[in-house]
Chains A and B, each alone.
Chain A
Amino acid sequence: MKNPQATKAAPAATGEPMKGADILIRCLERQGVEVLFAYPGGGSIELHQSLQKSKIRVILPRHEQGGAFAAAGYARATGQTGACMATSGPGATNLITGIADAYMDSIPVVFITGQVPHTYIGKNAFQETDIIGVTRPICKHSHLVLSPEEIPEVISEAFYLANSGRPGPVVIDIPKDVQQKTCIPLFPEQPVVPRAYKLKLAPEAREVEAVRKAIEEAERPCLYVGGGIISAGAEKELLKFAETYDIPVATTLMGVGCFPEDHRLSLKWLGMHGTYYANYAANECDLLVALGARFDDRVTGNVNTFAVNSRIVHVDIDPSEINKNKRADLGVVCDVKQMLKKLLRNPVRKERPEWHALVRKWKEDFPLRYADSHLIQPQYVVDRLYRLTNGEATIVTGVGQHQMWAAQFYQFKRPRQLLTSGGLGAMGFGIPSAIGAKIARPDQLVVEIDGDGSFQMNIQELGTIHCEDVEVKMIILNNQHLGMVAQWEDRFYGSCRGNTVLTNVRADRPYPDFVTIAKGYLIPGREVWKREEVDDAIREMLETPGPFVLDVHVEYQEHVLPMIPAGGTYKTIIME
């Protein structure tokens, strides 16, 4: 069980015996954990008792899923590893969606679950679930702790794995008897690294030169950059690289903000609901340079017809991403920041006026837009929010139409400014992730843009917001529909509504009354019915101290456009 490298020269343990639970909390403190999102239960009561003696701030979510998303929101907002805890059985299974979300979007979070005493494991004991088995395909690594002596190494390893290489969630399952047993702990001074875990961070000189040469030869290069830029903290290098080499930049949804969207080289983001010009540039270029992105199907559509006439350079820290979805002509495994730094040492300066003119024409001819209406268009609300917050707010979304509009019509200029469930697409992400983000960054204005469907999936977290004094501003783009599915119904299923309507036939108003619900949680709110009220209502929300719920009645009227149908190509893009 022991890591041979870590224990080889280890001194003998000295000091007072400690309970397993106390050891674990001490380990979290040593890892620098300041905030723990934790919901107690029989399997984790010992850990919560230990926490009462600790300086770690414990946030009590109202549902374990809320705790999981909040920890991920904390990590997304800062890049620091989030920490989340739940009890055994149902507590642990309630974390699953949050763990899967962190896995899909490569977010560093350590999840700790209580477990039944180890002698009960496998007996179908009360609140027993094999959570290591359940989470195996949705976490970077996991560990069942069988003795208190192991805890320091296991926790050290968990935090190292979660936030090194390609980040991801790590699950630690700790039986109640291990929490109760005592031992004299030995805390490792250095991070514990599993011996088989090797990272290739530095690109080789020949690899850098090959990328450089590919760009030199290209007439129509395009950068396709993802969340890897943000994980690597490489936004400054990216900006300098794009400017020096003079190449247009399309980000993925996960990469939004890693390149300023008001920059002349920005194409905003590409994919199913990305801009016309980003999709055209990525497909009509002769060289596509993918940096920390993974050729997700929501980006490529039909992968076989995506960028068919381009050479593809793919730089990623995860070797398995190279050639997974799309064959790369040149794949390099390394830290993208190091690659960009090395490319900047000897830059290619090549003028490509025709290519830039073509890209400019696409941008001018097909900007993001929406139809005028006497109703409140959801895009209009996002646009007004952008202007009234001077583009400074951190935006957190749920999943669906509102998510796409938030990403399209707010202009992002810094990494970690848009927090959204990209890979898993988990509704209910918004409120709890905004809580985590605001707790992590109290200096920032955090606005959650949600839909009425997504909002109701973790609505209980309004309780956390009030009780923990978390100043989250919430805007509901309320169209009384599961709008994204309804949109697909309109486009592909003859508008036959298959359980996508959220209205209540017995109510004479939109259902439910969110402002009254917020009032029940002692959170102020306001409803908006008319377009003329929008600015005033947003101002009231921003000026009211503390959290606020703004319920904007937008009606189901709009489709998210542009849209490339699933499995389609950029040429099948729907513009209206």
Chain B
Amino acid sequence: MRHTISVLVENKFGVLTRIAGLFSGRGYNIESLTVGPTQDRALSKMTIVTSGDDAVLEQIDKQLNKLVEVVKVTDLTGAGFTARELMLIKLKATGKTRGEIVQIANIFRGSVTYVHHDAMVIEVTGRTEKLDEFIELMEPFGIVELARTGKVALARSAQPTESLQEYDSHC
């Protein structure tokens, strides 16, 4: 099953390698991983999308917690959370097709960030599935390249994501 995990870490160099290395070294799967600073400059927040059965997820949680620089691990799956992803997509676009592309992009609340006489770049934000749909619709026009950020997520609650659930070290 797919899980979205929010990981609050100390903002020190090497933290990302420790976490990525933990996943590869123990054979856990990473679908996407994002990282960025938080309002507290000493902390960064990562959003990791991974998959595995309950036993694997329990180990991911515990092994992440074991890293000295990990402050808090929160598995958002099953709780209410908002997740978004950003995509930049470069398309072949001529005078003939440009109008139709922009029309579809508008439906997806996308915006044009670059136009050339035979190409354009569109920025789209949203849930992962929305971006997948947009890609599918753009395929007939010809996709030159695309880049996606991977998910960022926050709990839908008044409190910080980290207070969503208490990490239970017992079984």
User: Interface residues, chain A, CB within 8 Å of chain B?
Assistant: 1, 4, 132-133, 136-137, 140-142, 144, 161, 194-197, 200, 207, 318-320, 322-324, 327-328, 330-333
Contacts and interface: CB of A to CB of B under 8 A. Distances in A.
5 contacts: A161-B68, A196-B72, A322-B170, A323-B55, A327-B55
A322 B59 CA distance: 9
A144 B68 contact: no
Contacts of A200: 169
Interface string B1-30: 000000001101110011001100100000
Contacts of B65: 319-320
B97 interface: no
Nearest to A165: B66
Contacts of A318: 66
B171 interface: yes
B62 interface: yes
Contact of B14 (A137, A144, A197): A144
B71 A322 contact: no
Given A195-B71, A200-B169, A4 B42 contact: yes
A8 to B, nearest CB: 12
Given A133-B17, A136-B21, A320 B66 contact: yes
Given A4-B42, A196-B69, A196-B71, 4 more contacts: A137-B25, A140-B68, A161-B68, A328-B171
B58 A323 contact: yes
A136 B17 CA distance: 9
A142 B21 CA distance: 14
B48 to A, nearest CB: 17
A197 B10 CA distance: 11
Nearest to B42: A4
A154 to B, nearest CB: 12
Interface of B: 9-10, 12-14, 17-18, 21-22, 25, 42, 55, 58-59, 62-63, 65-66, 68-72, 169-171
Nearest to A321: B62
Contact of A195 (B10, B17, B63): B10
Given A196-B68, A319-B66, A320-B65, A136 B10 contact: no
Given A194-B69, A196-B68, A333 B18 contact: no
Contacts of A136: 14, 17-18, 21
A427 to B, nearest CB: 24
A142 B38 CA distance: 24
Contacts of B69: 194, 196
Contacts of B42: 4
Nearest to A196: B71
A434 B9 CA distance: 40
Contacts of A322: 62, 169-171
Contacts of A137: 21-22, 25
Contacts of B22: 137
Nearest to B59: A324
A132 B14 contact: yes
Nearest to A210: B170
A112 B12 CA distance: 20
Report the 10 A-B pairs with minimum CB-CB distance, sorted nearest first. A320-B62, A319-B169, A196-B71, A331-B171, A141-B68, A333-B169, A137-B25, A320-B66, A319-B62, A194-B68
